[in-house]
Structure 1
Amino acid sequence: MKTRKVGVIGLGHVGAHVMYSLAVQGIADEIVLVDQNEAKVKSECQDLFDAVAYLPHRVKVSVGDFPDLGDCDVIVNSTGKIDLLRGNHNRVTEMDFTIPAVRGYVEKIKASGFSGVLVNITNPCDIVTRELAMGLGLPKGRVFGTGTGLDTARLISTLARQTGIDHKSITAYMLGEHGNAQIAAWSAVSFRGRSLDDWAATGDPRFQFDREALQKESIGAGWATFTGKFCTEYAIATTAARMVHIVLHDEKQIMPASAELCGEYGESGIYVGVPCVIGKDGVEEVVELPLSAEEKAAFHNCCEEVRHNMEHLKEI
């Protein structure tokens, strides 16, 4: 039976929780950890190794280097410097650290012979995902980011609290930048097949809410987490682990991810968060939602914001 091997680059707050989620959920049979902080990565490896005896399945964990990633099925990139976000609420601030970091090792990943799927967490997610995809030169879709996958989960959780409907019965999407410019696709929100607009038309007070305020609350949820402990860990790690599971099992699940647009939604040349069919080859299809004219305009403005932020790449 084939061993499912996953590499994790960057063992900070998020990377360590990705490692733990992959192990505890039995998603990976083998996990290779790569980080420039030798003491930290060895400690994380030892901590997980000590936990393996009480897991209901076998997991092999080891400290490695970039050449050891060549035969991985999936790599999760989670390099970052979260302290840069203290005092501001803009993920783009991390660019001055994350872009040079990624540029410093993307050729090493390529040289390892890696031909699997890479899931990127590192912020700014959309811009870093594009940088990794260009550097690795893998087939389209093999490199994608968590993007608005976590933001969508936040929107669904907020809708569940607002309406009292279980989150598993809600379909909703956040689109665009994994950042402050993202938008909620309200026309695509449904509760087991019945649209939000239909529910609102019934006069049910649960669905009579300020959509702009709820969108703002969903966008700000990550910062609410950050404010108290100066990092986010569990939710983003769970999002990444879920994506890895989808790839390894070729589930063909529709999930928001930061993916390359080549004409979809009228946009090209950028990576942004959109619903995608994800399978063994990564993003296998971008799903185009039937957005309203207002939503299309808002999505375009969001894409323009990402393009504006990409201009900073010329200065790094």
Structure 2
Amino acid sequence: MEKRVVGIVGVGHVGAHVAYTLGMMGVADEILLCDIKEKKLISECNDLNDAVSFMPNRVLYKIADLPELRDCDIIVNAVGDIELCRNFNRDDELKNSVLQVAKIIPRIMDAGFNGIFVNITNPCDLITCEIASLSGLPRSQVLGTGTLLDSARLQHALSDVTGLDSRSFNAYMIGQHGDHQFIPWSMLNFGGMDADQFETARGVKFQRDIIHERAVKGGWITVSGKWCTEYGIAGAAAALVRTILHDEKRILPCSVELDGEYGQHDLFVGVPAVIGKDGVEKVIELPLNEEERARFSEVVKALKVNMEKARTLILENKEEA
């Protein structure tokens, strides 16, 4: 049987929780940990191996440098500095994240990596795009968590409002993992009913602005109390890894490259996609209504502004080097 190997670059709050969650899911046989903080890396690796006895399957955690990740099936990029988010704006991480991946990705690719990148690092859509550009891998092999966690926050809010288990309905956030995302209410499905039909059938009325606010700003509730997010984003990343390794062909909202879908090209954004063993197997183009298409256009504008900022940073860094 082939060994399933996952690499994690950046073993901070999120990276360490991804490593633990993958072990508890029993979806990887070997997990390689890479971080610039050697003492932290040694401590996390030792702690994780102590926990293996309580995991469903045997998994080996090992310390690795970047070139040693070349044979991984999947590499999870979790580098970053959560301290940069203290103004409650993921875009504040832009410069640090761009410069880190500019150093990391070429070293991994030079070693011969040809697997799949799953990106967590913020701004998620932008950094996923940079990884794709720096790696030169096909569009199917680079994706980010994108609005997967935001969709979970939406489902959390809807579950609270309706009293239903989140598995009873389909609901996605689409757009940027950040302030420029929205709920395509026309696409929500409650057992075959859309949101309007469900409201009539159940005699309820969704407070749509409040639900939207909970989905978009939910992460800051978590951050404001402990200055990091861990469980939700780690669960999202681990779910993507599991979906790929198990070839689940599952539709998940994540950051993927558009190649004509939604009328856009060369842009990474959070939309539903079929995820399987080859990574992104198909981008799902939702039949948005006119209002939702206008909202999507606003998302695209915001993302393109950040893309220009990233290009400028990379060029400036090269000139300084």
TM over 0.5: yes
Q: Is the 8 A contact 1:267 1:300 kept in 2?
A: no
Given candidates 220, 227, 231, the residue that maps to 2:228 is: 231
RMSD of aligned Cα (Å): 1.0
Given candidates 268, 272, 295, the residue that maps to 2:269 is: 272
Say if 2:160 is the partner of 1:168: no
How far is 1:181 from its partner?
0.9
Deviations 1:262-284 (A, max 9, x none): 11111222100000000111111
How many angstroms apart in 1 are the aligned matches of 2:81 and 2:14? 11
Q: Look up the match of 2:316.
A: none
How far is 1:216 from its partner?
1.3
Map of 1:98-247 to 2, 5 A cutoff?
98-202=97-201, 204-206=202-204, 208-247=205-244
How many angstroms apart in 2 are the aligned matches of 1:209 and 1:168? 18
Moved more, 7-16 or 161-170: 161-170
Counterpart residue identity of residue 148, structure 1: T
Deviations 1:38-80 (A, max 9, x none): 1111110000111112333211110001111111111100001
Given candidates 289, 292, 303, the residue that maps to 2:289 is: 292
Task: Normalising by structure 1, report the TM-score.
Answer: 0.97
How many angstroms apart in 1 are the aligned matches of 2:124 and 2:54? 35
Secondary structure of the corresponding residue to residue 222 of structure 2: helix
Q: Look up the match of 1:74.
A: 74
Moved more, 147-156 or 306-315: 306-315
Given candidates 277, 283, 292, the residue that maps to 2:280 is: 283
How many angstroms apart in 1 are the aligned matches of 2:55 and 2:299? 43
Secondary structure of the corresponding residue to residue 140 of structure 2: coil
Given candidates 295, 298, 306, the residue that maps to 1:301 is: 298
How many angstroms apart in 1 are the aligned matches of 2:75 and 2:222? 26
Q: Look up the match of 2:19.
A: 19
How many angstroms apart in 1 are the aligned matches of 2:275 and 2:107? 26
Q: Is the 8 A contact 2:82 2:227 kept in 1?
A: yes
Counterpart residue identity of residue 284, structure 1: E
Task: Normalising by structure 2, report the TM-score.
Answer: 0.95
Secondary structure of the corresponding residue to residue 139 of structure 2: coil
How many angstroms apart in 2 are the aligned matches of 1:227 and 1:205? 35
How many angstroms apart in 2 are the aligned matches of 1:301 and 1:251? 32
How far is 1:213 from its partner?
2.1
How far is 1:195 from its partner?
1.2
Q: Look up the match of 2:94.
A: 95
Deviations 1:204-234 (A, max 9, x none): 343x122122111210100011000000000
Report how many residues are paired: 313
Structure 2: stretches of 5+ with no match in the other structure: 314-321
Q: Is the 8 A contact 2:186 2:195 kept in 1?
A: yes
Secondary structure of the corresponding residue to residue 141 of structure 1: helix
Counterpart residue identity of residue 304, structure 1: K
Counterpart residue identity of residue 123, structure 1: N
How many angstroms apart in 2 are the aligned matches of 1:56 and 1:212? 42
Identity %: 48
Q: Look up the match of 1:44.
A: 44
Q: After TM superposition, which residue ranges in structure 1, 4 or more long, deviate above 6 angstroms?
A: none
Deviations 1:225-267 (A, max 9, x none): 1000000000000000010001001111000010001111112
Q: Is the 8 A contact 2:25 2:56 kept in 1?
A: no
